[in-house]
Amino acid sequence: MIPERLQGLVETTQPLAERFAARGKRLYLVGGVVRDAIVNRLGDAPDLDFTTDALPDETEAILGGWADAVWTQGKRFGTIGASMDRRIYEITTHRAEAYHPDSRKPDVTFADAVEADLARRDFTVNAMALRLPDPEVIDPFGGLADLAAGRLRTPLEPEESFSDDPLRMLRAARFVAGYGLAPDDDLVAAVEKMADRLSIVSAERIRDELDKLLVVDDPSAGLWFIVRHDLAPQFLPELPALAVEQDPIHRHKDVLAHTIAVVAKTEPDRVLRMAALLHDIGKPATREFGPRGVSFHHHEVVGARMARKRLTALRWPNDDLEAVVRLVELHLRFHTYEMGWTDSAIRRYVRDAGPLLDRLNNLTRADCTTRNAAKAQRLHDRMDALVSEIARLRAQEEIDSIRPDLDGTQIMERLGIGPGRAVGEARDFLLELRLEHGPLGEEEAGRQLDEWWAQHHSR
């Protein structure tokens, strides 16, 4: 008998499994889909990953005439992809792979038995397979027991597993955080011993694994794992550097603890979570001591530069990189609202945040980690008030894409000039008027433009 929660996977994959069986080949569902089905965390359309004793050419032939489309880009690694009824299938020949000490890419060799394939997987909770079409759970390394016990282990000795693919050390952080698994002592010892092996893993693979960690419900345990066990210095040295910087506002915790708490409080949005992770990295470089204690003046500006450098090294997509940098740069802007903002200041806040406004407000709310309930409530109330004021202005005028009351063509016609620097200067003048006073209308904007032109360009 197999668990009832696996039965849906058996039914979904039966037509494909029967095609392999008819050719005398064995087919197994493997990896995350099996694990997530067992813990009842399957989504509506989970990715289906299979392993088989069929060689890639044989798999390609079996899929022919059945799948809507077949692709072979991963064939040299043993993987054939296919789609059928809008579902994606990836089928890989049983394999073993290992990195050479000086290589960023694995050597791939094929194996005959599923147990050999499972032995080379990252953790026991992922080293389970569901045999098809006559279902049986294959669990040679005790993954079911580890799931039940909340334990994270490797199928082989952890040194061997991490040598095969050093990225698994970082992946362990995601499973610690995402599945509430406690790493066993041997795994932790191996991570601390081998952390510098991450240097042979490409920045792109590290980036992708870090991104996956950041968007689990609460990444805190995983972030502490990479800091405490010497992984963060290999790809994000700015993070452990925060541990020695005492936060003058949140005195009950250092900046590292504050940062991890902020990440946990933000919504599980990859860009927002990365901005939360990096929002205070400028503090060590800006620390100063004065009569009132330690301060970090302009740490948001320094932090934005540091965030750009770090995300460039991690090969983050440029648009997402720019969004994170902007959020870091703006994350303190709200705090001047305590002194009261004019409509002009609110317009500038909305203009500067642009499409990141909701994320910026979310980050600002999360940035309050004080244990002082009254202080936290005051910040919450101020943010609510600002959001209300933004809504009020939105009802009166277009503030999400503020433009001058006159466009370039109208400016040239009004002033009797052609294209050139003067048009840009005039537009900047009108934009400042728009931000300061709200919509003026074409007539009033034109009158003030005439006055400005007479004062600045009449000579």
Domains of the chain are 4-149 (3.30.460.10), 236-396 (1.10.3210), 408-457 (no CATH)
Which residues, in sequence order, are CB contacts of 155 under 8 Å at separation 6+?
118, 119, 120, 121, 123, 124, 127, 140, 141, 161
Which positions of the chain have pLDDT values less than 70? 1, 43-45, 97-107, 244-253, 289-295, 297, 337-340, 458-459
Query: Residue 252: what pLDDT?
Result: 39
CB 399 within 8 A of CB 393: yes
Partner residues linked to 129 by β-bridges: 30, 138
Query: Residue 291: what pLDDT?
Result: 67
400 by Cβ neighbours in 10 Å (0-12 / 13-18 / 19+) ranks as: middle
Query: Residue 246: what pLDDT?
Result: 55
Query: Residue 371: what pLDDT?
Result: 76
Query: Residue 163: what pLDDT?
Result: 92
Q: How far apart are CA 123 and CA 171, in angstroms?
A: 10
* Alpha carbon separation from 62 to 30, 241, 367, 441, 446 (Å, rounded): 19, 54, 55, 70, 73
Q: How far apart are CA 225 and CA 216, in angstroms?
A: 14
Query: Residue 409: what pLDDT?
Result: 86
* Alpha carbon separation from 163 to 152, 154, 234, 256, 351 (Å, rounded): 17, 12, 16, 30, 50
Query: Residue 434: what pLDDT?
Result: 82
* Alpha carbon separation from 113 to 20, 52, 110 (Å, rounded): 15, 9, 9
- pLDDT tens digits for 251-302? 535 889 999 999 999 999 999 999 999 999 998 877 776 666 666 767 888 9
Query: Residue 146: what pLDDT?
Result: 97
* Alpha carbon separation from 452 to 87, 129, 173 (Å, rounded): 63, 75, 60
Q: How far apart are CA 50 and CA 180, in angstroms?
A: 26
Query: Residue 401: what pLDDT?
Result: 77
- pLDDT tens digits for 29-77? 998 899 999 988 886 667 789 999 999 999 999 999 899 999 999 998 8
